[in-house]
Amino acid sequence: MENSKVEDLLSKINTLLDEAGTKINAADNLQILEALRVEYLGRKSQLIDILKGIKDAEPSQKAKLGQRSNLAKSQIENKIQEKIKQIKEKELKAIELQEEIDISIPPSGIKKGHKHLITTTIEEVEDIFMRMGFEVHYPYAIDDDYHNFESLNIPPGHPARDSWDTFWTEQGKIAITHTSSMQNRILSQQKPPVRAIVIGRCFRNEATDARHEHTFTQVEGVYVDKGITLPDMLGTLKEFFSKYYKKDLAVKFTPDFFPFVEPGGMMSLSCILCNGEGCKVCKQTGWLELLGCGMIHPKVLEMAGIDPKTYSGFAWGFGLERLIMLKNNINDIRLFNSGDLDFIKQF
Ligand code: FA5
């Protein structure tokens, strides 16, 4: 092949390279680039045509033209890759700009929630008792038979166990049925005088209705010292309820049975709605039965390492939700955990 023809072909390759470069630079999307790849590097491209046309060239001329066209091919390919990268980066930047989050801008229009009525009441109850010299404890949600029953003078097989419909775990643990589960721990961990309350959730495997939930909150109290008597208990509870309901209320003790207190009973409060005159809520009796209480049984004191000949004390346990229901005229305990926002937002 004449050398001038070889030079012609070389210059044609250079022209193709320039032309492809200009078109690649101008391309602004990936489809155009793909079309350019087919045009300049595909099987029907001009570069391939040039290579086909040098079949009868001398080996040195073939090598020269072959090298030049291979170099041109890889230069075009590199240019295409570079351009693809640029286009993708540009697209990403546009998305980032659209989605940009400025964390320094203060939130607006987001309404803050508020504490649930049960939480605010727990805080209020804690505050009243702390001012009266009580310390606050919280129970273990899952506890053992010893603390929920045995240490409270309720050995295995005792019929009184039936008073509490109990959820048992497969490992024989208990979802606590009452906050009395903490009595033994509190009494055995410190020397009298002991003044403590326990607030926490309790669980009972019972059918629910307007006054019964499977999960509810109890407030337990224990007070042990020398010379403590039943009137001390009534005085303490009267003081608490009068503070909570912001009214001077009368209290009454009616005997009842709990294995861990002797004497044991129910404490009633003069009806806060009718001031003891008789209404629908108190069933015309003028009294509301509110809680279980009594003088701590000598056996319970002994099991906690306290000598019942030297010390005596009282304990009580009431349901927090029932207290709140009375104060706020709520007629169904199930509303508390229903997730009903119309209900929750009122308080
Ligand atoms: C007890 O649980 C005793 N541990 C209370 C006690 C403590 C007595 C210390 C003596 C000394 P009782 O099962 O009656 O007792 O429950 C006490 C209070 O918890 C009830 O008066 C009620 O206010 C509340 N309560 C009980 N069961 C439920 C329930 N299913 N739903 C809502 N509140 C309940």
339/319 Cα distance (integer angstroms)? 20
User: How remote is the CA of residue 128 from the centroid of ligand 1, in Å?
Assistant: 20
- What is the arithmetic mean of pLDDT over 274-280? 85
Task: List the Cα angle 254/259/265 in 5-degree steps.
Answer: 10
CB-based burial label for 323 (10 Å; 0-12, 13-18, 19+): buried
C-alpha of 187 from chain center: 32
Is there an atom of ligand 1 within 6 Å of 241 CB? Answer: no
Please give the mean pLDDT across all residues of the chain.
Answer: 92
Strands (E), 172-257: 174-175, 194-203, 215-225, 251-255
The alpha carbon of 76 is separated from its chain's Cα centroid by a whole number of angstroms, namely 58
Which of 6, 125, 251, 261 is an active site residue? 261
Based on the residue annotation, tell me whether 178 is a catalytic residue of this protein. Answer: yes
* Integer Cα distance of 122 and 139 in angstroms: 14
Phi, psi of 149 (to 5 degrees): -130, -65
pLDDT in tens, 286-311: 998 889 999 999 999 999 999 999 99
DSSP code, position 264: E
pLDDT of the residue at 96? 83
Among the options 37, 68, 147, 178, which is catalytic?
Answer: 178
Q: Mark whether 164 is an active-site residue.
A: yes
Gap from CA of 291 to ligand 1 centroid (Å) = 6
> What pLDDT does residue 344 have?
92
Measured distance CA(286)–CA(282) in Å, rounded: 6
Query: How far are the Cα atoms of 24, 39, 128, 335 from residue 209, in angstroms, in the given order?
Result: 77, 80, 30, 11
**What is the residue whose two structure tokens read 């109290």?**
221
CA of 12 to the centre of ligand 1 (A): 99
**Ligand 1 pocket residue status of 212, Cβ below 6 Å:** yes
Q: Give 15: exposed, middle or buried? Use CB within 10 Å, 0-12, 13-18, 19+.
A: exposed
What is the reported pLDDT for 207? 92
Q: Which CATH superfamily is domain 117-344 in?
A: Bira Bifunctional Protein; Domain 2 (3.30.930.10)
Query: Considering the entire predicted model, what is its pTM?
Result: 0.71
In the chain, what percentage of residues exceed pLDDT 90? 67
- Digit-coded pLDDT (tens) for 106-133: 777 767 789 999 999 999 999 999 999 9
Expressed in angstroms and rounded, the spacing between residue 178 Cα and the centre of ligand 1 is 7
Does residue 173 have a pLDDT over 80?
A: yes
